[in-house]
Amino acid sequence: MGNCMKRYFLYFFFSFSWYVLPAQIRFTQVKTLSGTLTDIGHAGDGSNRVFITHKTGTITILDQAFNTLGTLLDLSGQLATDSEKGLLGLAFHPDFENNGHFFVNYNPANTNHTVIARFTASTPSANTTVSIGTRKIILTITEAANANHKGGDLAFGPDGYLYIATGDGGGGGDPQGSGQNGNILLGKILRLDIDTDQA
């Protein structure tokens, strides 16, 4: 595309954006949160609360106006937070309103491991900190050789399964070949039926 055509294209794009985008996007409030944030979501329980996951190990509860209501979970001091490690992902069980289950993805202290764990809020609607004693380890991945490329995202699909995005284990260019190795869990999107065992 020549320079003249580029100028016309950019002019059209910005002119079009000026008229269309403001009608579609509404920014009502900006909230500044300290620390390194790794995830944001809601519980799907009708409470309209917002949950912010921090790399250092805490999950902050906010209301619709982004005022802090409390701390859902505090794993501070139990995690490795160097490089790309820490508390990386959060997903609420589709029936969280009744069973209080939520899942986190984190890296334990002094390791390159990835842990998927379930915690249970005794009163799901409360803005209180959930006991670490409710933790149930769902999955531990130990093959990673490096501190980076941890992935971390968690989400429930419409099928009710928990989906987990795992990193390739670090290093530049996937030196372990994790993405092409079907025998390890690194460099994959995993699907778990977490309702088969709720003990």
Whether the per-residue pLDDT at 181 is higher than 80: the answer is yes
* Range 84-111 average pLDDT: 97
Beta-carbon count within 10 A of 88 CB: 23
48 CB-side CA count, 13 A = 5
State the chain's mean pLDDT as an integer. Answer: 86
Rg, the chain, Cα only: 20
- The pLDDT value given to residue 196: 81
Residue 123 lies in a domain: yes
Residue 17 lies in a domain: no
User: Could you list the residue range(s) of the whole structural domain that residue 185 is in?
Assistant: 31-192
Residue 145 φ then ψ, to 5°: -95, -15
Number of domains in the chain: 1
- CATH of residue 174's domain is 2.120.10.30
**What is the spatial order of strands in the sheet that 189-192 belongs to?**
151-156, 162-166, 189-192
* Range 59-71 average pLDDT: 94
Whether the per-residue pLDDT at 3 is higher than 50: the answer is no
Residue 168 lies in a domain: yes
pLDDT digits (tens, 9 = 90+) for 128-162: 999 999 999 999 999 999 999 999 999 999 999 99
Residue 68 lies in a domain: yes
Residue 77 lies in a domain: yes
Q: Which of 27-41, 100-114, 181-195 has the lowest mean pLDDT?
A: 27-41
Residue 4 lies in a domain: no
- The pLDDT value given to residue 32: 63
pLDDT digits (tens, 9 = 90+) for 28-54: 555 666 678 999 999 999 999 999 999
- The pLDDT value given to residue 28: 53
Q: What is the pTM of this model?
A: 0.82
Residue 22 lies in a domain: no
Residue 53 lies in a domain: yes
* Range 63-90 average pLDDT: 95
- CA angle (21 as vertex; 67, 31 as ends), nearest 5: 15
122: Cβ contacts below 8 Å, ≥ 6 apart: 100, 130, 131, 134
Q: Which pLDDT band, with edges at 50, 70 and 90, does 58 fall under? A: very high
